[in-house]
Amino acid sequence: MTASAPATHRARPASSVTGTGSLLRVSLRAEIRSLAPWMVVPTILTLTSVLGFELLGRTEQERQALNQTIAGNPALGLIFGPAGDVSTLDGFNAWRGLAIGGFVVALGAILVVVKATRAQEDSGQAEFLAAGVMGRNARLLTALAMCGIMSLVAGVLSGVITALFGVGWGSSLLLGAGFTATGWLFGALAGATSQLAGDARSASSAAIGALGVLFILRGFFYAVDVPGWLIWINPLCWVQETHPADGGRWWPLALVLGLAVVLAAGAFALQSARDFGQGIFATPPGPDRGRVHSPLGLMVRLNRAPLIYWGLAFVGLGVVFGYFIQSVREILEGNPAMTEIFARGAASPEAMSATFVATIASLVGIIVSIPGVQTVNRIRTEELEDHAEPVLAGAVTRSRYFGAGMLVALGAPVLYVLIAGSVMGLFGMSAGIGLSFADVLLQTLAVLPAVWAVIGVAAFIVGVVPVARVASWLGVVGSLALTLLGPSLKLPNWLLGFSPFYHVPPVALDDPDLWGLLWVGVIAVGLVVGGFAGFRRRDIP
């Protein structure tokens, strides 16, 4: 404490969290765009519950039908959790939002925390900060604070806005509080995995993996009625146990918060035990020699993880949609809104089943086209990240490079459709609705030309006008909107016809009209060929 020391440097005693305030302000400003979706999506989710309930449960009879359908469909329970009483708006909203909304906020929390901790260290950004006037724990504290604020805003926004639209205040706010608590818990978990893992990617994979496993276990526990104590080993079940629309208990959230605090404390302890840029566990060395020797091999390798995840997802979707097909009668009987969407214009019960399966197959098709469009966009990402340049500097033509990407983009959907179609076929053949395994599988395969047309739109955009890359999702978004909303908005047929899935006929009927599908196939080929021509001609950035 010499008198000659400059006063300004002595003004505040330095601690391990010095600098957190200013870092938090800067980070929030820089990251607001990437935080926004996670804060808004839960509100969209709960608001659409209100809209959906208006649409599906207009009369008391419809509500009872809805209640029976949902309660009687174990596949829905696996994802959304136990139904409770969904014949009320509060109950419907809580059932639909609780698990999914919590999942979304938790996912956002994990990504935010990993990005602000390990990802920054991997990119070298954190070195700048660490070299500044910054306490040892400031960056981790900032990351957790950012995640805390994001989760809080997500929960409050959803709770308040949804209550303003007619859901009870008590249940809506408790539901929102559940979102917030789930976000805090998984943000703290990501804080801990960020200290353990060798790099950012492994850190987020570990946390997201834990979230996924706990999510599936939660659905499974409630679906099979496990002993009561087992419920209490899964933190996601604690949130479920708040029963927002059904009595409403706040205390289970205290357990969630307690665990979050323990995990956060663990994260700080682990951080002080590791070196900057190194995890507690190092990344193991990889292979010295490569086995990828061609553009196609490279494209498969780059899409390997998504190929596996989507393959598994389509087993799950097959189960969910399979249950739907099994309960086609209960779903459609007495619910004209559902019938309008899923089996429009069907006269006989057989025709109704066939049309219903065709619509379900189209939904599967629209979902299948999402990874397809992702793969096409990957071609563009490779260019933008300068990965395409060294490959194209090898003895590889543009067509071969683009073709390798397109082969994966168009070929993987065949696998996905076979997976989902087979699972759905197993459910369909045992449903006693006049459909065989082959009927369902063929129906699912029949959507492929439409899937390829949607992916063709993306191929055309990426090949010809890559600056308009967002437009590559036009096919997916348009098809989804026209298939799900079109019938209930009573749109004219020519407009519905813009969705390639509109032209998929129920193939189980006698003499299905395949001409429309043929044209869709021709358009798909044309779009892909146009994409090739564009990619061959344009500059690679």
Q: Can you tell me which of 397, 430, 436, 488 binds other proteins, judged by CB under 8 A? A: 397
- Crossing angle of the two packed helices 20-56 and 138-164, in degrees rounded to 10: 30
The 3-class secondary structure across 462-531, one letter per residue, is HHHCHHHHHHHHHHHHHHHHHHHCCCCCCCCHHHHCCCHHHHCCCCCCCCCCCHHHHHHHHHHHHHHHHH
Which one of 227-235, 281-289, 331-339, 511-519 is the stretch in contact with other proteins (CB under 8 A)? 281-289
Q: Which residues contact 521 (CB under 8 A, 6 or more apart)?
A: 449, 452, 453
Residue 476's closest CA among 381, 355, 375, 357?
375
Question: Minimal distance in Å, beta carbon 535 to other proteins?
Answer: 12
Quick check: 395 binds other proteins (CB under 8 A)?
yes
Q: How far is the CB of 395 from other proteins (least distance, A)?
A: 4
Q: Closest distance between other proteins and the C-beta of residue 536, in Å?
A: 10
By CB under 8 A, residue 389 contacts other proteins? yes
Q: What is the DSSP letter of 83?
A: -
Q: Which of 380, 445, 443, 386 is nearest to 409 (CA)?
A: 380
Name the minimum Å distance from CB 302 to other proteins. Answer: 7
Identify how many contiguous H helices and E strands the chain contains and give both numbers. Answer: 25, 0
Residues 6+ apart with CB under 8 A from 89: 49, 50, 53, 57, 166, 167
Q: Is 181 helix (H, G, I), strand (E, B) or coil?
A: helix
Decide whether 6 or 287 has the Cβ nearer to other proteins: 287
Per rule CB under 8 A, is residue 391 in the interface with other proteins?
yes
Long-range pairs, 210-213, Cβ under 8 A, ≥24:
210/186, 211/103, 211/106, 211/107, 211/110, 211/186
| The one among 396, 474, 529, 533 contacting other proteins by CB under 8 A | 396
The yes or no reply on residue 291 touching other proteins (CB under 8 A) is yes
Residues 102-161 that bind other proteins (CB under 8 A): 122
Q: Which of 15, 61, 272, 283 binds other proteins (CB under 8 A)?
A: 283
Which helix (H) or strand (E) segment holds residue 415: the answer is helix 398-429
In this structure, are residues 50 and 93 in contact, taking their beta carbons and an 8 Å threshold? yes
228 lies in the site for other proteins, by CB under 8 A: no
Per-residue contact string for residues 324-343; x = within reach of other proteins by CB under 8 A: --------------------
Q: Which of 21, 132, 247, 290 binds other proteins (CB under 8 A)?
A: 290
Residue 347 as a binder of other proteins (CB under 8 A): the answer is no
Q: Which stretch binds other proteins (CB under 8 A): 80-88, 141-149, 386-394, 494-502?
A: 386-394
Minimum distance, C-beta of residue 462 to other proteins, in the bound complex (Å): 17
Task: Decide: is 394 part of the binding site for other proteins (CB under 8 A).
Answer: yes
CA angle 176, 179, 185 (to 5 degrees): 140
Q: Which is nearer to other proteins, 1 or 395 (CB)?
A: 395
Residues 181-220 that bind other proteins (CB under 8 A): 199, 201
Positions that interact with other proteins (CB under 8 A): 122, 199, 201, 283, 285-295, 297-298, 301-302, 385-387, 389-398, 537-540
